Chains A and B, each alone.
Chain A
Amino acid sequence: MFQVRLHGRGGQGVVTAAELLSIAGFTQGKHAQAFPSFGSERTGAPVVSFCRLDDKEIRLREPILEPDCVIVQDPTLFHAIDVFQGLKPGGYVLINSSKSISELGVAEQLKDVPEDHIRGVNATELAIRPVSRPVPNAALLGGFAAISRQITLEAVEKAIATKFGGRIAAGNIEAARAAHAAALGKELVNAQTA
């Protein structure tokens, strides 16, 4: 089982991101379970969501206490809560930022995580032109596909197309592709901001 915990703030689509991730897993034939942290979400307040991926039925219903991957949609959360709590040694970290982990002040917390398992992707920047809104959630899933290899970029694109329609889907797919390329360290021509 591969367990992902997503941290962000109300309004950034944290819950939707976990749902999208579960749909992406499902399109690849995996069992997937996504759920929110069940709070009274308010815009700007810290929000947590979860997604489990497995090849067999998922029966476990507890919150994810020891994630294999932590996705941080908003690096200002580092000042408020310990987002990396319980992260498995050798796990993965994806942060919505182009700053290094030392610049973000979390290098010490991530000392047990292999360097190539940690990526910063400026997903908000990559999303703002194609989506016309600063929503990093779907874009980050492209980055997640790149670093974890648990799901494919194609599955992320299908999930986005399933959940959204028309222009919103197209924009988020473009952002996810750009974040995927950025996480792999490849420049994607059409990801350049216009």
Chain B
Amino acid sequence: MLKQLEGSHAVAEAVALCRPEVICAYPISPQTHIVERCGELVREGRVGNCEFINVESEFAALSVAIGSSAAGARSYTATASQGLLFMAEAVYNAAGLGLPIVMTVANRAIGAPINIWNDHTDSMSMRDAGWIQLFAETNQEALDLHIQAFKIAERLSCPVMVCMDGFILTHAYERVDMPDQEIVDRFLPPFKPRQVLDPANPYSIGAMVGPDAFMEVRYLAHDKQIQALEVIPEVATEFKELFGRDSGGLLHGYKVDDAETVVVTLGSVAGTVKDTVDQLREGSTKIGVVTIGSFRPFPLQALRKELSGAKRIVVLEKSLAVGFGGVVANNIMMAMQGSGIHVHTVVAGLGGRPITVPSLTKLFETAHADKLEDLHFLDLRRDVVNAELARQHAHIGSGPIAENILKSLYRDEANTANAS
């Protein structure tokens, strides 16, 4: 049924359709509306046999989900930013124990400086924890990915993180096609756990493992992700057969076939990139875009195949590996090693900086003319950076960077206002 909904509410309704038995979460912007709506749906009795557990922190939220999942309950939680960091130990534990929890991450920057806006630093900080990480391009895909996530998680006994851009998706009202309960039930059978804490058949989960077997257990975590490279497209195909929509999968290509320049990105910015690509194609620039759906496991072979015809690759990402460059770009370089195809890293949209068509147009034209540097920061204000560097060189005690920059920005604005 078509509905005009806020992204957060669309996700909450999709989660409810998956018949979770335990939802536990601690609110944090921009995830709050998701769990608020989940709470309302549970209270209204629309989630069947489900318990909504209020917890005192994110660490508790995921710890409860670990307990309930180990007890055989389909379990869901959601978080963002500092909340994900606060539960970091439990994030590794959930994956290490192989518990099929589904968690939404409403992507948001990580402080300091504190910032509530969108980028991908939070999810990227947990990329090696052993969770499957799926990224949504639209609210429809976010909704669909949650339904797929439970199936993927339970088939592999592995937790799945569904990443959706905070505010840009979570707070956007747009059209979504909300499926019926009956069709979701056909797609997603009741949870049959691979391991379960059962007093009638007691065993422990979470043994201490020494040097004699730790490597093997960790290798099997890696092997599970390799299996996910098969399972994720399978589930997307099964989803399409029942729901009639292309959602999920490892990656999506757009106008890639004859493209000389291919942009690789993930998340909601793909829409703006596609509009820019269409405009540039009108001027006969051969450019396309590949959107990564699954960041973990990282589809090395599928990407290599999709990108093999490009002359150059521009990785546009909302994350920065400080002291190195790009997080996603580094992975793309691994996929393309030995191909001779140049990979540019473009860090953009950190802390909610808008990514606009005019900026992307200029960026892609520069790249297409082979004039783009290896590591580029989109719309970085060099004047602001240089002014702060000058302050630091002038005084050993130049003070806190964030405060210095804000002070100078507001002073400049005030001066402009006074002058006009």
Is B272 an interface residue, CB under 8 A from the partner? yes
Within B156-183, the residues touching A (CB, 8 Å) are 167-168, 171-175
By a CB distance below 8 angstroms, the chain B residues around A60 are 271-272, 275, 357
Name the CB-closest residue of B to A18.
B173
| Contact call B175/A31, Cβ cutoff below 8 A | yes
Residues 260-276 of chain B: 1 if any A CB is under 8 Å from the residue's CB, otherwise 0?
00000000111110110
Residues 1-23 of chain B: 1 if any A CB is under 8 Å from the residue's CB, otherwise 0?
01010100000000000000000
| Contact call A34/B173, Cβ cutoff below 8 A | yes
In the complex, A115→B171 CA distance in Å?
A: 35
Is B355 an interface residue, CB under 8 A from the partner? yes
Is B352 an interface residue, CB under 8 A from the partner? yes
Is A108 an interface residue, CB under 8 A from the partner? no
Residues 344-373 of chain B: 1 if any A CB is under 8 Å from the residue's CB, otherwise 0?
000000001011110000000000000000
Q: Which of A61-69, A124-132, A176-184 contacts B (4 or more CB under 8 A)?
A: A61-69
Question: A19-B173, A34-B172 are contacts. A59–B272 as well, Cβ < 8 Å?
Answer: yes
| Contact call A33/B354, Cβ cutoff below 8 A | no
Within A7-55, the residues touching B (CB, 8 Å) are 18-19, 22-23, 25-27, 31-36, 38, 40
Is A188 an interface residue, CB under 8 A from the partner? no
| Contact call B174/A62, Cβ cutoff below 8 A | no
Query: Which range contains the number of B residues in contact with the other chain?
Result: 20 to 34
Interface of A is mostly: mixed
By a CB distance below 8 angstroms, the chain A residues around B271 are 58-61
In the complex, A144→B172 CA distance in Å?
A: 21
| Contact call B275/A35, Cβ cutoff below 8 A | no
Query: Which range contains the number of A residues in contact with the other chain?
Result: 20 to 34
In the complex, A65→B355 CA distance in Å?
A: 12
By a CB distance below 8 angstroms, the chain A residues around B61 are none
| Contact call A26/B4, Cβ cutoff below 8 A | yes
| Contact call A65/B356, Cβ cutoff below 8 A | yes
| Contact call A61/B268, Cβ cutoff below 8 A | yes
Is B310 an interface residue, CB under 8 A from the partner? no
Within B161-209, the residues touching A (CB, 8 Å) are 167-168, 171-175
By a CB distance below 8 angstroms, the chain B residues around A25 are 4
By a CB distance below 8 angstroms, the chain B residues around A36 are 167, 171
> Measured between C-beta atoms, what is the minimum distance from B189 to chain A in Å?
32
Question: A35-B167, A38-B167 are contacts. A22–B173 as well, Cβ < 8 Å?
Answer: yes
| Contact call B167/A26, Cβ cutoff below 8 A | no
Question: A22-B173, A33-B172, A35-B173 are contacts. A61–B272 as well, Cβ < 8 Å?
Answer: yes
Residues 100-137 of chain B: 1 if any A CB is under 8 Å from the residue's CB, otherwise 0?
00000000000000001110000000000000000000
> Measured between C-beta atoms, what is the minimum distance from B4 to chain A in Å?
4
| Contact call B4/A63, Cβ cutoff below 8 A | no
> Measured between C-beta atoms, what is the minimum distance from B129 to chain A in Å?
28
Residue from the list A33, A38, A40 in contact with B174, Cβ < 8 A: A33
Q: Could you list 19 further interchain pairs (A-B, Cβ under 8 angstroms) beyond the known A35-B171, A58-B174, A60-B357?
A: A19-B6, A22-B174, A23-B4, A25-B4, A32-B173, A33-B174, A34-B173, A34-B174, A35-B168, A36-B171, A59-B274, A60-B275, A61-B268, A61-B272, A62-B354, A62-B355, A62-B356, A62-B357, A65-B356
Interface residues of chain A, those whose CB is within 8 Å of chain B, are 18-19, 22-23, 25-27, 31-36, 38, 40, 58-63, 65
A-B contact pairs, 15 of them (CB 8 A): A22-B174, A23-B4, A26-B4, A27-B4, A32-B174, A35-B173, A36-B167, A38-B116, A38-B117, A58-B174, A59-B272, A60-B271, A60-B275, A62-B272, A63-B354
Q: Nearest 4 pairs between A and B by C-beta? A: A59-B271, A26-B4, A34-B173, A38-B167
